[in-house]
Amino acid sequence: MVENLAIVLLVFLSQLGIVSEDQNNAEFLTKLIKSEPIEEKFIFQEENWNYYSENIKLENKLFSLPNKTKDNYIDIDSNSAIAFDTETDFVLYSKNSNEKMPIASISKIMTALVVLENSDLSDSVVISENAYNTEGRKEGLSVGEEISVENLMKIMIVGSNNVAATAFAEHISGNVDNFAILMNEKTKELGLKDTVFYNPTGLDQKNMNVSTAFDIAQLVDYSLDISLIWEYSKMQSVSVGSLNGKLKHNIKNTNLLLGKMENIAGGKTGFTDQAGECLVLISNKPEENRKVITVVLGASDRFLQTEKLRNWVFESYEW
């Protein structure tokens, strides 16, 4: 099995130009089969590869790398973009995907992760005056209102609500600054080297949350195991209430692609003046049992560009 893997790997590397045709193949294969560290023999220079959190399992994934079937290339009208296959960790499209830039409410993906790792869905969150005064829509939330983590999470994810995000920060850590420490600890744990959080909302402030399209794709890939986040994100609308049942909140999803495009497994919008229009989308390709993550940052029209990118990926690759 190892010998077969080594042969397939050598052929693949030759196609990428990483191992030249005139290289001593027998010597290379002998060293590879002896399990000498591959990374000491060559470095993947293509954007198609990464070793994020040891997520890539070469032996299992080499045989399912996607093949590009069309030569046409698109230019997505955004400052940065990426399309990422979650099964093979293969970058299908990249535009400035390693450039740091503000990410607006895409930040709430990390906010949700930290909240779910540090609380129960049945816990009660109190909306403070400070949280209520956070910039953005109120969605009927009131100062002093008690609401469950589950319902407040739906408000934050579906409506991209900043009041909810701030209330969560206060509930978990006492204040926004302490909560940002937890966000950055998680960032370090996941190996997201180009990502820094200062608040749970993504709002433009003196210090803004920044990341790259590549890091965001890795964050989303990790978070797929926390299916609750993405189940909520697919809801076109949701109605939830306070713990005492006296207040009702009717929320519409900020992702306008829901109901327009098929096979959406989740998504998260973002917008500020500094970040521009941002969108994460998780798309299923059911006939091939695949998931593709797309990220656009600083787009002129996040929905149009995301639709264009996803359609191009599904038309251009086969697995």
Q: Mean pLDDT across the stretch 259-263? A: 95
Q: Mean pLDDT across the stretch 150-155? A: 98
Catalytic residue, chosen from 78, 80, 148, 160, is 160
Domain boundaries of the chain, sorted by first residue: 1-46, 101-318
Catalytic residue, chosen from 105, 223, 242, 283, is 105
Question: Going by CATH, does the domain composed of 101-318 fall within 3.40.50.150?
Answer: no
Across the chain, mean pLDDT equals: 86
Q: Mean pLDDT across the stretch 251-270? A: 96
Tell me what percent of the residues of the chain surpass a pLDDT of 90: 73
SS (H, E, C) the chain: CHHHHHHHHHHHHHHHCCCCCCCCHHHHHHHHHCCCCHHHCCCCCCCCCCCHHHCCCHHHHHHHCCEECCCCCCCCCEEEEEEEECCCCEEEEEECCCCCEECHHHHHHHHHHHHHHCCCCCCEEECCHHHHCCCCCCCCCCCCCEEEHHHHHHHHHHHCCHHHHHHHHHHHHCCHHHHHHHHHHHHHHHCCCCCECCCCCCCCCCCCCEECHHHHHHHHHHHCCCHHHHHHHCCCEEEEECCCCCCEEEEECCCCCECCECCEEEEEEEEECCCEEEEEEEEEEHHHCEEEEEEEEEECCHHHHHHHHHHHHHHHEEC
25-80 pLDDT per residue, tens:
444 444 444 443 333 322 333 444 344 444 444 455 666 788 898 888 899 999 99
Q: pLDDT at position 63, please?
A: 62
Q: pLDDT at position 62, please?
A: 61
68-87 pLDDT per residue, tens:
988 888 999 999 999 999 99
Q: pLDDT at position 21, please?
A: 45
53 is catalytic: no
237 is catalytic: no
Higher per-residue pLDDT: 230 or 28: 230
201-213 pLDDT per residue, tens:
999 999 999 999 9
Residue 20 has pLDDT above 50, yes or no: no
Q: pLDDT at position 288, please?
A: 82
Catalytic residue, chosen from 108, 154, 186, 291, is 108
Q: Mean pLDDT across the stretch 138-157? A: 97
Q: Mean pLDDT across the stretch 223-239? A: 96
274-309 pLDDT per residue, tens:
999 999 999 998 888 889 999 999 999 999 999 999
Q: Mean pLDDT across the stretch 152-159? A: 98
Q: What is the pTM of this model?
A: 0.82
